[in-house]
Homo-oligomer: A and B are copies of this chain.
Amino acid sequence: MTYTPLNLQEKFGLFSDQWSPRIVARLNDYHIKLVKLEGEFIWHSHAETDELFMVIDGNMDIQFRDGTVSLKAGEMFVVPKGVEHRPSSAQECKILLVEPAGTINTGNSAGERTAQDGVWI
């Protein structure tokens, strides 16, 4: 049987909209998602879960109420559950997220920036 690897850059090539997570894999009850970021997101938190950010291509900041972490390709950061954060990126940045299935991108701040959950690519 032929098994196919999941190539991240190939998957990123399949969509262009920003701030709209695409699921690429499931790990038990977790989803692996790819997102393209550019500009500034909204402040939000996830009451029930930590959230792993890994930069695949580009640079991003995650702003907290008391500081900021700057990430480049090959770097990651786990935002603890309940901690308010605001992702941003001056230029388009490609990231990978790991979080429980069903986690909503805007957490406690649902609104116009809330993306449809559960979209595979």
Contacts and interface: CB of A to CB of B under 8 A. Distances in A.
Contacts of A1: 64, 66-67
A50 interface: yes
B9 A74 contact: yes
A9 B3 CA distance: 28
A29 B79 CA distance: 14
Contacts of A77: 3, 5-6
Give the number of times this chain occurs in the complex, counting copies. 2
Given A75-B5, A75-B6, A76-B5, A28 B69 contact: no
Interface residues of A, number: 38
Interface of A: 1-9, 25-28, 30, 32, 49-52, 56, 62, 64, 66-72, 74-78, 81, 98-100
Which 7 residue pairs are nearest across A and B when measured between Cβ atoms? A3-B69, A1-B67, A5-B75, A1-B66, A5-B71, A6-B76, A27-B50
21 contacts: A1-B64, A1-B67, A3-B64, A3-B67, A3-B69, A3-B77, A4-B69, A5-B69, A5-B70, A5-B76, A6-B75, A7-B75, A9-B74, A25-B76, A26-B50, A26-B78, A27-B50, A28-B50, A30-B30, A30-B98, A56-B74
